[in-house]
Amino acid sequence: MRLRTIGLATFIAALGLAVNSAVEAQTMETLKSGMNVTEEIRHGAALAEANCALCHAVGLTGDSPHRQAPPFWKLSQRRPVDTVAKMLLDKEAPAHSDMPTFEITETQAHDIAAWIAWVQPVSHGRRLVEANCASCHAIGLDDESAHREAPPFRNLSMFYPIDALEEAFAEGIETGHPDMPVFKVDITQLQDMIAYIESIQGQ
Ligand code: HEC
Ligand code: HEC
């Protein structure tokens, strides 16, 4: 079911029809197919793609098409993400802005909010592994490791539970791996990297 705006009803309704057949393809852009997420998050991603992407960057990276619309991947810099569902349900768009209000069900609001909440750590974790690990490890869904012996991150769960990474890093994962540099990361950075790595494990 598609959301409908009040203010821009006709416009968005027309848009809704227009994007309908493209939702599948565009969703794969937002949420790479093969990423390991729950049904509600997948549903939230599809809703965001169909209803919000006109103005907001709704995926893991990128700038918003509408300059004032905050990209979803860094929405937490602007408001706590656990307030998003209520904001949508209360139709509480910022006044005097282009942000429309939506007719929306609780499930839809919840799922969009779940998507937005999921994107925060995963997007941050992806930026961290891009900057710190990609020179050796494959960090995507189908790339190859630049260092022959460095395992692609998407295969790590074949060797051990991803949760164990937190402990492994705390204890110094680099010991015994001469080519692997020492990293100083704080707990949030570590948890966000793990959230990203978790998201790309094969199912
Ligand atoms: C027609 C353009 C447009 C569409 C479509 C749109 N937004 Fe927005 N949105 C904006 C703009 C512009 C702002 C910034 C408003 C401001 O700062 O005054 C915004 C702000 C927001 C904020 C931050 C509000 C705050 O006060 O912190 C959230 C959350 C948000 N939008 C969620 C959504 C969701 C979810 C959807 C889809 C269901 C959506 N938006 C669709 C334009 C849009
Ligand atoms: C300079 C190259 C290099 C960089 C940069 C690098 N690694 Fe590695 N990493 C390796 C190599 C090589 C191995 C395989 C070592 C072995 O099996 O002996 C490895 C192994 C691993 C393993 C598996 C360890 C195990 O016990 O099997 C994990 C997890 C890992 N790296 C995580 C990371 C993370 C997270 C980053 C970024 C913060 C990173 N690596 C950056 C080279 C690198």
Pull the structure tokens for residue 120: 């925060």
At residue 153, the pLDDT reads 93
CATH of region 4-120: 1.10.760
User: Which candidate, 146, 131, 137, places its Cα nearest to that of 165?
Assistant: 137
Does residue 175 carry a pLDDT above 60? no
Residues of the chain with CATH 1.10.760: 4-120
For atom 43 of ligand 1, the residue with the nearest CA is: 99
Q: What is the pLDDT of residues 64-107, one digit of tens each?
A: 999 999 999 999 999 999 999 999 999 988 878 899 999 999 99
Atom of ligand 1 nearest to the CA of 98: 12
Compute the distance from residue 32 Cα to the ligand 2 centre, in Å: 24
At residue 203, the pLDDT reads 54
Residue 172 Cβ contacting ligand 2 at under 6 Å: no
Q: Looking at residues 2-10, what average pLDDT do you find?
A: 46
User: Which candidate, 17, 46, 16, 51, places its Cα nearest to that of 31?
Assistant: 46
Between residues 26 and 120, the one the model is more confident about: 120
For atom 39 of ligand 1, the residue with the nearest CA is: 52
For atom 35 of ligand 2, the residue with the nearest CA is: 133
Compute the distance from residue 178 Cα to the ligand 2 centre, in Å: 9
Which ligand has the nearest atom to the CA of 95?
Answer: 1
DSSP alpha helix (H) spans, the chain: 9-20, 23-30, 39-51, 84-89, 106-132, 164-171, 187-199
- Is 0.75 surpassed by the pTM of this model? yes
Q: What is the pLDDT of residues 143-154, one digit of tens each?
A: 999 999 999 999
Compute the distance from residue 150 Cα to the ligand 2 centre, in Å: 5
Question: Which of 48-62 are b and which e, b meaning 16 or more Cβ less than 10 Å from the residue's Cβ?
Answer: bbbbbbbbbbbbbee
Residue 27: which H helix or E strand, with range? helix 23-30
Residue 190 Cβ contacting ligand 2 at under 6 Å: no
Q: What is the pLDDT of residues 104-119, one digit of tens each?
A: 999 999 999 999 999 9
At residue 169, the pLDDT reads 75
Atom of ligand 1 nearest to the CA of 84: 29
Compute the distance from residue 15 Cα to the ligand 1 centre, in Å: 17
At residue 174, the pLDDT reads 58
Q: Where are the beta strands (DSSP E) in the chain?
A: 4-5, 102-103
Q: What is the pLDDT of residues 16-58, one digit of tens each?
A: 322 333 444 444 457 776 788 899 999 999 999 999 999 999 9
Q: Which residues pair with 4 in a beta bridge?
A: 103
Confidence band, pLDDT 50/70/90 cuts, at residue 11: very low
